[in-house]
Structure 1
Amino acid sequence: MPNYRFRCQSGCEFDALFAMADVPRETECRSCDSTATRLVSAPHLSGAGSSAYGLIDRATQSAHEPQVVTGLPTSSSGPPKRQPVTRNPLHARLPRP
C-alpha cells in the first residue's frame, strides 16, 4: 500500500497508509484531531533492479548477522594445485615469504 503524507492547519505532518482506491483527501490529524489534508509529493520510485536491491539487503543483513565460518571450504576441482618450481639460480636470491 502506498504511503501518503498529510498536514493539518496546526502544521502537524504525518504519514498514513491507504489503498490507492481508498485514499481520502482529508483525514483526522493524529496529534490534534483537526482536519488534515493530503499533500502532493513526488512518488518514491527507484531505477535500481532487483539484483541491486538484493545486494543492499544482503549487505544490511551481514552487518547485523554475519555468517560464521565453521570449516574450510571444499574444493570441487580435486587436490590443491602446487606452485610451479623454478630452476633459475637468480630466483634463489629473491626474498622468501
Structure 2
Amino acid sequence: MPTYVYRCSETCDDFTEQHSMSSIPDESTCPECGHGARRVIGAPALGAGNSAAVRLQDATRSTADSPQVVSSVPGRRRRPTPVSANPLHRRLPRP
C-alpha cells in the first residue's frame, strides 16, 4: 500500500499513513493534537528492500553516478605470432 504524508495545521510534526490508492483522503486527523491535517507531497520510497535485485540496482546506479576512474591506459598484451614449422612457408613474404 502507498504511504502518504500529512501536515498538521498546528505546529506538530508531519506524519505518514498508509491508504489504498482507491481511497486516498485529502485530510486526516493528527495523532498528536487531534486537529485536521492536509495531505502533502512526500518523497517516493524507491528501492526499498534488501533483495538481490535491489542491491544490483543500487550498485548499477552508484557506478553511473560516480564511475571508477583509471590513472593510466591499461597495457595491451601482444599475442605472439604463430610460427609455422612448414619449410615452404619460410619463402612466403612477411607482413
Q: Which TM class, normalised by the smaller chain length? A: 0.3 to 0.5
Compare CA radii of gyration and give the structure with the larger one.
2
Normalised TM-score (structure 2): 0.47
Normalised TM-score (structure 1): 0.46
